[in-house]
Structure 1
Amino acid sequence: MLLYKQKKNQAAKGKRFLINITVRGSAGPIRFVVSEDDLVVTVLDNALKQYAREGRLPVLGSDINSFMLYCPVSETEAISPWMTIGSVGFRNFGMCKKPQTEKDKVIGNGVDGGGDKSPLDKAVTDPRKGGSGNWKAWFNKSLNLKISSH
């Protein structure tokens, strides 16, 4: 009798199924079990946590608002974050960062009219220096140091 009640509670909870989420630039898909009633935003959050837990590269961060989930069949449209994952009808998904809007690009580059860039920003983004050449020079120099033996 007790087993019957547990099965009844599980049925009320919703069906569970395995999904695959392929992250652009990563080696392979992330796999985990979801309920068909889970929202897409919850699935994105779980995917980012699983990705970080596995120590995958490239490092993505944890801001779910900057990512979108899409079906590989129709890559042109992102799935609404407020849909349930079971209503989509697929079990294989893709995940990538949302494209930046023009406003985000302007603010991100320090051209928002708030003054000049800091000297550190200029050193990192100066095209004459090749972007991140400072740390490369330091790294190469530190490798060339010879350790004298006694």
Structure 2
Amino acid sequence: MLITKHKKGSKSSGGNRLLISITVVGSAGPIRFVVSEEMMVATVVDTALKSYAREGRLPVLGSNANDFVLYCPVVGTEALKPWETIGSFGARNFMLCKKPHQQAVNNGDDQKPVTVGIRKSSGSWKAWFNKSLNLKVSSH
């Protein structure tokens, strides 16, 4: 049996590694995996979608990373930029949401993009979070 040891400064280590947790809106639980802190947000989204599909989770999301945005609730309400590094936020918990589709509406000469929901249950994580806070427990 051959045992190999990794050197601390080796190029294959890819810098510091982080265990991140990504909650997919509408799914039962988070996806957890290890990433390099220099990994781009777009690559993390792609890895999360592949891991989600490999585990056979529901609802089925698809595999196009361009259809999704990653949020970091600690940082703010803006979606993370695809070219940013995942380690630059100092967080390990993220939320993955489907982007709302935009369609052009023809109003004479002007064409303005209008956001159209995919289906009623696919809202943003903020709406889901606010809805979950508003649930009330009634006593008989």
- TM-score, with structure 2 as normaliser: 0.66
Name 1:19's counterpart in structure 2. Answer: 20
Amino acid of the structure 2 residue aligned with 1:96? C
Where does structure 1 differ by over 6 angstroms across 4 or more consecutive aligned residues? none
In structure 1, how many angstroms separate the alpha carbons of the residues matched to 2:48 and 2:71? 13
Instruction: Give the helix-richer structure, 1 or 2.
Output: 1
Name 1:64's counterpart in structure 2. Answer: 65
CA-atom RMSD in angstroms: 2.0
In structure 1, how many angstroms separate the alpha carbons of the residues matched to 2:11 and 2:17? 9
Question: What percentage of residue pairs aligned between the two structures are identical?
Answer: 63
Name 1:147's counterpart in structure 2. Answer: none
Name 2:99's counterpart in structure 1. Answer: 98
Amino acid of the structure 2 residue aligned with 1:62? S
Q: How many residues align?
A: 102
In 2 relative to 1, CA 10–52 (structure 1 residues): closer, same or farther, beyond 3 Å? Answer: same
Unaligned runs of 5+ in 2: 106-140
Q: Tell me by how many angstroms 1:6 deviates.
A: 1.7
Name 1:38's counterpart in structure 2. Answer: 39
In structure 1, how many angstroms separate the alpha carbons of the residues matched to 2:56 and 2:13? 35
Q: Tell me by how many angstroms 1:101 deviates.
A: 1.5
Unaligned runs of 5+ in 1: 107-150
In 2 relative to 1, CA 8–73 (structure 1 residues): closer, same or farther, beyond 3 Å? Answer: closer
Larger radius of gyration: 1
Instruction: Give the strand-richer structure, 1 or 2.
Output: 2
Q: Tell me by how many angstroms 1:76 deviates.
A: 2.4
Q: Tell me by how many angstroms 1:17 deviates.
A: 1.0
Q: Tell me by how many angstroms 1:34 deviates.
A: 0.2
Within 5 A, what are the aligned runs for 1:1-150? Answer: 6-9=7-10, 13-74=14-75, 76-103=77-104
